[in-house]
Structure 1
Amino acid sequence: MSTRIFVKNLPKDATQEKLVSHIKKSCPTADITDCQLKYTRDGVFRRFAFVGFNSPEEAVKAQAKLNGTFIKTTKILVDLAADIGDASIRAWSKYSPQNQPKTGKAGSDKPFGKEAKPEEVKSTRPGFAIKMKGLSGFYNEKSIRDFFKPIKLSSIRIPKTAQKKPMGVAFVEFATAKELDQGMGRNKNFINGKKIFLKKSAEAAEQAVKPVTPAPWELKAKASSTQEVESIAESGRLFVRNLWFGVTEEELQETFEKFGPLAEVTVPVDPLTKKVKGFAHVVFVFPEHALKAFTELDYTSLHGRLMHILPGRETTSEETGEDEKSSYKKKKAAQQKGNSSSAYNWNSLFLGANAVADAMAKKYNTDKSNILDDESKGSVGVRMALGETQIVSETRQFLISNGVALDSFSQAAGERSKTVILVKNLPAGVEADELREIFSKHGTVNRVLMPPSGITAIIEYIEPSEARQGFMKLNFSKFRSIPLYLEWAPMGVFVNPAKSQEGKAADQEKEKMRKGDNEQEMEDVEKEERKEQEDIEQEADKNKIKEKNNNEEDEVSEEEPEENTTIFVKNLNFDTADQDLSKHFEKLGELHSATVAKKKDVKRPGELLSMGYGFVQYMKQRDAKEALKHLQNSVLDEHNLELKMSNRTTPKAKGRKKQGETKQTSTKILVRNIPFEAKKREIEELFKVFGELKFVRLPKKLGGTGPHRGFAFVDFLTKQDAKRAFNALCHSTHLYGRRLVLEWAEAEESLEELRKKTAKHFPDEGPRKKVSRTSLKNELDS
C-alpha cells in the first residue's frame, strides 16, 4: 500500500509550509516525511504536490480527512499516489508532456490541451526573441510586461536556480518582427532602478523547441541493458538515496533481503545530529539479486519517500592508498583491513603472546624477562600456555558475572552483532577510559567492559554505522606500538541492555532506599529485581534454544555450489524463458540456477518483461569453465549469446568445530593441532597441572621416525581431573602459537569385548575344512 498522497488543485500562492500546516490541522499525529510542490522548468507552479507519510495507515487516514477540504477558498482534491510508471496513470495537467502540443512550450500563454495551428507555430518561432540582462531585486512576469507596455508579449521565461531563485536574466518572445523592433527600443531602460540590457537572441527559440527530457524511470529503462546494468551485475552493489531520515538498517535489510541474501547494509549517520544522512549502501551476495532489487524497487516509496537506486561503487586501490609500488607489508595490511568486516576471523578469546607475558609479569610482580627465560625450569611454551589459560578463565568469569553470554565465543561461528566489538591484544595497563576516548572519536560509545587483566575489552556503540566506521578505522591500527585486533561480538552478547540515564537514576534511588528505614519498600524493590532477573534468565534460555535450532537447520542444509560458478549471459532473445536458458546450459553440467532478468511492464500491470540478459550458475567450477568455452557465441532462439564470468563471491563462515559437543565418556582427551616442535614432555607438563596422568601418547608417522602427527592422547587417573583440564584448556590455549583443539576420546574396549565384537561377524558353523588348491580351481571352473 502507498505511503504517499497526491494533492491537486492547490492555490497559486501555496507553499510547502502552508500545505504542511493545513495537513497538521486535520492530522495532528501524522508523521510527514516528505512534501514536494511541483513546478515546470520555467518555475511555474503546477498547483499539485506529493506528500509522504511514515506508514500506509497514516497516508490512508490523511487522504480520507483532507480530500475536499479548503485552503482559504480553494477546494483541494486528495488521492493516494500510484507508483511511478503505473500504466493506469493519465496525465491531467496542462504542463504534462503528453498534453503539450508538438510545437508548444511549457510556461507560454497558449493552451496546451490542443494541437497548435500552423499559423500559431509561425508567429512564435525563431527571430522574435529578446534576452534581458541586468535584472535584480524582486521581479516577475508582471514587472517585465509593464516594462514593455503597450507591446504585447507572446511568452516570458524567467530561468531559476535549483533553489528556485531567479538568475538575473529573462527571455521574452514577440508575435511579429515589428513588435520585436519596438521591444528593442526599450534597451537600457530601468527596472527597480537597474539598467536593463536587451539583445536579440536565438536561445529562447532553442529553449522553445528543446525536446522534453524523458522521465527518470524512462532513462533507467534505456540504460538498464548497458553500462549501468553491467556495473551492478559485476559488483552486486547498490547506492540508495532519498531515504527518510528516520530509516534504520533493519528496515532496509528487511526491504532488500526479499530479493536475495545480503552481504552488507550500511546507513551512514551524521555524527552531530545522530540522524541518517538520507542514503545507504546495499551489497548483495549474488549480483543477479542486486539487479532484481534495482528493477523492482527503484522509484518505489519507503516511509513516504521515493527511493532512487544507482549502481554502487567499489573502493579502488587509489582510495585505500594501495598501489603497485606499495610494500608487501602495506599490501598485507590493506588486505587484512579489507577482510576484517567478515563475520568470523579468529578465536574470539585470542590473546597475543606479548600481552600474556605483560599480564603475567604484572600479576606475579616480576620482570617480563623472567617469564620468557628459556633457561629456567620448565618449558617457555607451556608456561605461556598456562598463563594464557589462567587469564582467559579469569576473563570469562568476569564477563559472565557482568551479564555477558560467552557460550558462542568458544563455539562455531554464528550471527554477529552490528554494534558490539570485541577488542583483543591490548597492552597491559590500559584503562577503560582511555579505550572509550579512542573509540568515541568514531561515534557515541554506549558502554565499555574491561576485565581485570586489561588485555581484552568489549565496546558497544549506539549506531551500527558508527560501530562499522570505528571497526574499519581501528582494526589492525597501532595502539601503544602494538596492533589492535577487533572482531564483531556474537549476537546477543549482553544478557541485558545498557542502562539509560533514567535507569541509572533509578539505581541511585534504590541505593538510597537500601540505606533508609523503610523495610516494606526494600522488599518491593527486591521482588522487582528478582522478577527482572528471572525474565533475563528466561530470555537467555530462549536464545539458547533458538541457537540450537539454527545449528540443527545448518547441519541439514543443502549442498552449496562452488565459488566462481556463475556466468553472466547477454544478448538474450526477449522471448527466452528461464526453462529455455536452463535447457541450453544444463547439457554441460549440473545447474544450481538459471534466471532471466526481468522488469515490470508499464503497459501491462502485473506482467514482466525480459531485460535481455540473465545468469546461469553451475554446481561445479569446472562445468562453468566448460560452458564458457563451448557455449560462447552459441545460438539460442536465433540470438548469439555473449558469456562472461560473473565476479561473484559467496562468503562462507569459517567456523571451527564445536568443542565439548559430546559428553564425557572416559578419562581420555584427544588433543589436536599440536605444533610439530612440541615435545611429549611439554604435553605432559601442560596437562599434569590439572591432575595425575596415566599416560601421554604422541603418535609418530609411519616408521616411527620424524616428527609426530600433530595430535596426542592424554589419559588421566580420574574423570574429575580430566574434566577440569578439558574445561580450562578448550576455550583458548595456544602452544607455540597454535590453538589446541580438545575432544573427548572414546573409552577403550577390553580384550574380551573386542573378541565378542569380532565373533558377531562369523556365525558358529563348527571347524572349517581345509580346501585344497585343486578342488578350489575345479569349483571355480564349474
Structure 2
Amino acid sequence: MIMKPIADILKMGFILFRDPDAAVKAFQSDRTTFQGRILHLLPAKAKTDELDEFALAKLPLKQQNLIKKRKKAAASTWSWNSLYLSQDAVNTSVADRLGISKSELLDPTSSDAGVKQALAESEIIQDTKSYFAANGVNLESFKSKPRSDEVVLVKNLDANTKSEEIRNLFEEHGKVLRVLIPPTGVIAIVQLASPSDGKRAFSKLAYRRFGSSQLFLEKAPRDIFFDLRPAQSQDLGHQPAAVEKVSASDLLAEDAKQPSHDATLFVKNLNFDTDTKALADAFHHLEGFKSALVKTKKDIKRPGQTLSMGFGFVSFENSDLAAAAAKVMDGHVLMGHKLQIRASHRGLDAAEERKKKEEIANKATCTLIVKNLPFQASKREIKALFSAYSQIKAVRMPKKFNHSGRGFAFVDFSSTKEAASALQALEGTHLLGRRLILQYAEADAVDAEEEIAKMQKKVGGQVNKVALQELTGQGRKKFNVGGDRDEGD
C-alpha cells in the first residue's frame, strides 16, 4: 500500500506573500473557481519553533538539544573566534590551490603535520582579511562588543562554497541585500534587509546542516561596514581583493583637520543624495554658522568617484550657538530624511585613538608571548611555525617542575618589525586544535623567569601553592592536643 502525503490527499497548499496588502487582496478572492474546483482560502499561522516544556519533552533528545542550542545562539553575543575556519575546508582550499590531494598535503607520517595545517590556515585567514577589507569591511570592528541583528557571519563552510548558495539559503527567511564570500568560500558575511529578517534567519539556520558540515552563525559587529548605506541586493562573491579601502585611521586623520568638537554638530540619517552644499544650505540661515561637511568615501566600483557615508558635520562659532542650532534642526526633514543631531566628539575620539596607538607602540617589543599552546607542542614546532613569517632568534618554553609544558612560550625576534609581522600573520591561527593567543611581552622583562613571576602573581600564587603541597606531601593537618589548641604537624 502506497501512502500519499497528506497535502496530496487534502489538495491543499501554502502561499507566502512579501507584501501584506497583496495577501489581503488575494484573501478577498475566496470561493474563486480554479480548474473546475472552488478554492477556499484561510489565513495560515506562521511556523514557529517555540515549544512549551511539555511539547519539547516529547521530542527526541537530539532534537531537544538542537532546539536549545539554536535558541541560546540567537540570544548570545559572545563569540569564540569571529574568523573561525573549518580545518578540513582550509586543507581542501590549499590543496586545490597547489593542485595536489589533501593526502599529499598532510602526510600522516610527517612529524610537522600540525605546523603545515597552521601555516595553511594562516594563509587562508590573511586572504580572507584582504578580501573583506577590499570590499568595505571594517576589520577593527571584530574587536567591538555591540552586535547587529541584520548582518550575520556564516562560518564553518565547506571549501569553494558559492555566494549563490548562501543567498538562496538566507532568502528563504528574508530579503538579502548583500553576500560577501571570499574566493576560498570558507566563510561569508550576509546582510539582510531588516533586523527582523536577520533574527529570523539566525534562529532558523543556526547549526543547520549545510553541505558536509553544520553552519556556525554569529551576529556581526554593528559597524562592520565602512559603507553605512544599505546595499542594493548585490553579490560580492569572488571579487578581486586589490582595491583601496577607507581605514578608521584615515577618517580620524581627516576629522582632526576639522573645527573643535565644542562648536560642531554631528548630523546623521542624511539622504545619500545630500551633498555638502545641500547640507550647508539647510543650516546657513542659523546664527553663527561657519561650515558644513558631508563625509564621503571612495567608490570601489567607479574609480575617482565618491559615495556619501550618510552623515556629516556642521560647525558654528561657539558651543552655545551650536547647542541652539541642534534644538532647532533636530528632526528637520531634508530631502525626505529626518535629521538626527547631537554634539560631535570627534576631537575626543581622535585623541583616544591616538592614545591607544601610542600605548600599542610602546608595548611593541622584540618578544611575543604565545598563549594557549597545546601541551604536546614542541619547541621545534613553534620555531618552524614562526620562522615561516619572520626571522627569529630564540624560542623559550618554560617547563613545570615535572618537565611538562606550561601552555605558553616566548619567541624572540630580531626586531620589533619582525615581531609585528608574525603577530599579524598568525593571530587567530590554530595549532593542534588550539587557537593561539599572541601578545607582546612586557618591555621591562629581561628573561622568561621574570615574565613567569609576573604571571604567577596575577593568578594569586597558585604555582607556589602546588609546589608547597608537593614538598609537604598531603599538606597541613590539624589535630587537638589535650583539647586546648590546634596545631599543625
Shorter-chain TM range is: 0.5 to 0.7
Pairing 1:404–2:172 present: no
Report if the CA contact (8 A) 2:395-2:412 is conserved: yes
State the match for 1:316 in structure 2.
52
- AA partner of residue 358 (structure 1): T
Whole-Å Cα distance in 1 between the matches of residues 226 and 345 of structure 2? 12
- AA partner of residue 372 (structure 1): L
Going from structure 1 to structure 2, the CA distance change for 1:352 and 1:547 (only over 3 Å counts) comes to farther
Query: How much does 1:729 deviate?
Result: 1.4
Q: List alignment gaps of at least 5 residues for structure 1.
A: 1-269, 278-312, 503-525, 553-657, 755-782
Report if the CA contact (8 A) 2:178-2:233 is conserved: no
* CA offsets 1:275-322 (integer angstroms, 9 cap, x no match): 8x9xxxxxxxxxxxxxxxxxxxxxxxxxxxxxxxxxxx9742455x45
Specify the SS of the correspondent of 1:746: coil
Under a length normalisation based on structure 2, what TM-score does the superposition of the two structures give? 0.56
State the match for 2:306 in structure 1.
532
Whole-Å Cα distance in 2 between the matches of residues 352 and 694 of structure 1? 32
Pairing 1:687–2:378 present: no
The correspondence for 2:209, drawn from 469, 478, 486, is 478
Query: How much does 1:719 deviate?
Result: 2.1
Query: How much does 1:361 deviate?
Result: 1.4
Pairing 1:346–2:92 present: no
Pairing 1:273–2:4 present: no
Specify the SS of the correspondent of 1:743: strand
Report if the CA contact (8 A) 1:663-1:744 is conserved: no
Report if the CA contact (8 A) 1:699-1:711 is conserved: yes
Higher RCO (C-alpha 8 Å, min separation 6): 2
Query: How much does 1:748 deviate?
Result: 5.0
Whole-Å Cα distance in 2 between the matches of residues 696 and 459 of structure 1? 41
- AA partner of residue 435 (structure 2): R
Query: How much does 1:355 deviate?
Result: 1.4
State the match for 1:390 in structure 2.
123
Report if the CA contact (8 A) 2:178-2:231 is conserved: no
Going from structure 1 to structure 2, the CA distance change for 1:548 and 1:357 (only over 3 Å counts) comes to farther
Identity %: 35
Report if the CA contact (8 A) 2:363-2:443 is conserved: no
Pairing 1:673–2:372 present: yes
Whole-Å Cα distance in 2 between the matches of residues 679 and 544 of structure 1? 49
State the match for 1:569 in structure 2.
none
Whole-Å Cα distance in 2 between the matches of residues 747 and 466 of structure 1? 49
* CA offsets 1:164-216 (integer angstroms, 9 cap, x no match): xxxxxxxxxxxxxxxxxxxxxxxxxxxxxxxxxxxxxxxxxxxxxxxxxxxxx
Specify the SS of the correspondent of 1:340: helix
Report if the CA contact (8 A) 1:662-1:744 is conserved: no
Under a length normalisation based on structure 1, what TM-score does the superposition of the two structures give? 0.36
Specify the SS of the correspondent of 2:306: helix
Report if the CA contact (8 A) 2:176-2:233 is conserved: no
Matches within 5 A, 1:626-665: 661=360, 663-665=362-364
Query: How much does 1:382 deviate?
Result: 1.3
Whole-Å Cα distance in 2 between the matches of residues 490 and 697 of structure 1? 37
- AA partner of residue 422 (structure 1): L
Specify the SS of the correspondent of 1:414: coil
Pairing 1:724–2:421 present: yes
- AA partner of residue 391 (structure 2): E
Measured on the aligned residues, the alpha-carbon RMSD in Å equals: 3.7
Query: How much does 1:435 deviate?
Result: 1.2
- AA partner of residue 273 (structure 1): D
Whole-Å Cα distance in 2 between the matches of residues 537 and 742 of structure 1? 37
* CA offsets 1:13-45 (integer angstroms, 9 cap, x no match): xxxxxxxxxxxxxxxxxxxxxxxxxxxxxxxxx
Query: How much does 1:663 deviate?
Result: 4.0
Q: List alignment gaps of at least 5 residues for structure 2.
A: 1-15, 24-48, 235-297, 314-343, 451-489
* CA offsets 1:350-385 (integer angstroms, 9 cap, x no match): 112111111111221111122232213x51211111
Whole-Å Cα distance in 2 between the matches of residues 403 and 440 of structure 1? 23
Going from structure 1 to structure 2, the CA distance change for 1:714 and 1:545 (only over 3 Å counts) comes to farther
State the match for 2:42 in structure 1.
none
Report if the CA contact (8 A) 1:322-1:334 is conserved: no
* CA offsets 1:523-557 (integer angstroms, 9 cap, x no match): xxx99976735858989x9899769979x9xxxxx
State the match for 1:640 in structure 2.
none
- AA partner of residue 424 (structure 2): N
Going from structure 1 to structure 2, the CA distance change for 1:494 and 1:392 (only over 3 Å counts) comes to same
Specify the SS of the correspondent of 1:467: helix
Report if the CA contact (8 A) 1:672-1:741 is conserved: yes
For this pair of structures, how many residues does the alignment match? 307
Report if the CA contact (8 A) 1:668-1:722 is conserved: yes
Pairing 1:420–2:151 present: yes
Going from structure 1 to structure 2, the CA distance change for 1:501 and 1:346 (only over 3 Å counts) comes to closer
Query: How much does 1:692 deviate?
Result: 2.3
Going from structure 1 to structure 2, the CA distance change for 1:448 and 1:545 (only over 3 Å counts) comes to farther
Query: How much does 1:421 deviate?
Result: 0.5
State the match for 1:366 in structure 2.
100
- AA partner of residue 92 (structure 2): D
